[in-house]
């Protein structure tokens, strides 16, 4: 399950990434960058879903979308999971995103679908390193390669401040690993629901 950023937000992140890629590639050989077509906020990772459970899941997700309002978000700064994943942080209605993620995870579990148990942390994955080892929580695995140093790349992106955009849809997304250009993962919407619940006043913060 996911939320897709607006085209304007994608363009802003793309410009910021383009400004640091040469530095990053020189410092971290083998860094694999995601593409703008892949950029989304993952709310939950699901296991295989058969047709019967998918129908149940979609009905539950439709109800979840009806209880949650659209969100104002923006990308700001950068972070990492261990030394394997570089990401853009999410700011704005972060508490709302967390509630939506909790809701869709509950919907999946009630539909008897396996859900990844990693704690939810809203982020936009920008790149992955082939070497090093990830942070606790399963974002990476140990390996024999030397640990890359992502600190200079984080510093270069730390000042990035995107403009606000509206997330108004909840999407059930199918991933096809290694099916896109360059054998990258390819994503497609299976179903989309409009977020149309009542607005709530949340404190704005950075994840």
DSSP string, 116-163: --SPP--EEEEEE-SSS---TTTS----SSPPP--HHHHHHHTT-BPP
With respect to residue 91, please indicate whether it lies within any of the assigned structural domains: yes
With respect to residue 168, please indicate whether it lies within any of the assigned structural domains: yes
With respect to residue 25, please indicate whether it lies within any of the assigned structural domains: yes
In b/e form, how buried is each residue of 68-81, taking b as 16+ CB within 10 angstroms?
bbbbebbbbbbbbb
With respect to residue 46, please indicate whether it lies within any of the assigned structural domains: yes
- C-alpha distances in Å from residue 187, one per residue of 62, 103, 123, 169, 179: 20, 22, 17, 16, 9
Q: Which residues pair with 87 in a beta bridge?
A: 79, 125
Q: Using alpha carbons only, what angle is made at residue 29 by residues 23 and 35, rounded to the nearest 5 degrees?
A: 75
Question: What's the chain's Rg over C-alpha atoms?
Answer: 17
Q: What dihedral angle (degrees, nearest 10) is formed by the CA atoms of 86, 46, 133, 24? A: -20
CB neighbours of residue 120 within 10 Å: 17
With respect to residue 205, please indicate whether it lies within any of the assigned structural domains: no
Instruction: Return the SS3 of 21.
Output: helix
Question: Residue 136 sits in which domain range?
Answer: 2-198
For the record, the structure tokens of 50 come out as 């058969």
The predicted pLDDT at position 7 comes to: 97
The predicted pLDDT at position 200 comes to: 56
Return the DSSP state at 193.
E
With respect to residue 203, please indicate whether it lies within any of the assigned structural domains: no
Q: What is the CATH number of the domain that holds 141?
A: 3.90.1140.10
40 φ, ψ (degrees, to nearest 5): -155, 160
The predicted pLDDT at position 199 comes to: 63
With respect to residue 143, please indicate whether it lies within any of the assigned structural domains: yes
With respect to residue 138, please indicate whether it lies within any of the assigned structural domains: yes
The predicted pLDDT at position 133 comes to: 45
Q: Which residues pair with 161 in a beta bridge?
A: 76
pLDDT in tens, the chain (207 residues): 999 999 999 999 999 999 999 988 888 888 899 999 999 999 999 877 888 889 999 999 999 999 999 999 999 999 999 888 999 999 999 999 999 999 999 999 999 998 988 889 999 999 998 764 444 333 444 444 455 678 888 999 999 999 999 999 999 999 887 654 556 788 999 999 999 877 654 433 332
Q: How many residues does the chain have?
A: 207
Distance CA 68, CA 197 (A): 4
The predicted pLDDT at position 141 comes to: 40
The predicted pLDDT at position 27 comes to: 83
Q: What pTM was estimated for this model as a whole?
A: 0.83
Domain count, the chain: 1
Question: Taking a C-beta distance cutoff of 8 angstroms, is the pair 175, 60 a contact?
Answer: no
């Amino acid at each position: 399950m996911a939320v897709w950023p607006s085209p304007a937000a994608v363009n802003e992140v793309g410009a910021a990434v383009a400004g640091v890629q040469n530095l990053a590639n020189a410092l971290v050989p083998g860094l694999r960058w995601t593409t703008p077509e892949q950029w989304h906020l993952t709310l939950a990772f699901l296991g295989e879903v058969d047709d019967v459970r998918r129908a149940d899941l979609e009905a539950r997700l439709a109800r979840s979308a009806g209880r949650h309002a659209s969100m104002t978000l923006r990308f700001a700064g950068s972070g990492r999971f261990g030394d394997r994943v570089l990401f853009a942080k999410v700011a704005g209605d972060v508490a709302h995103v967390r509630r939506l993620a909790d809701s869709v995870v509950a919907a999946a579990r009630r539909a008897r679908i396996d859900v990844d148990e990693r704690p939810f942390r809203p982020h936009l994955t920008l790149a992955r390193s082939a070497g090093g080892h990830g942070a606790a929580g399963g974002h990476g695995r140990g390996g024999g390669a030397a640990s890359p140093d992502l600190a200079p790349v984080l510093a270069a992106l730390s000042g990035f401040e995107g403009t606000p955009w509206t997330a108004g849809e909840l999407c059930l997304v199918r991933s096809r690993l290694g099916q896109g250009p360059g054998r990258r993962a390819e994503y497609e919407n299976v179903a989309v629901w409009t977020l149309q619940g009542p607005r709530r006043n949340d404190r704005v913060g950075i994840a």
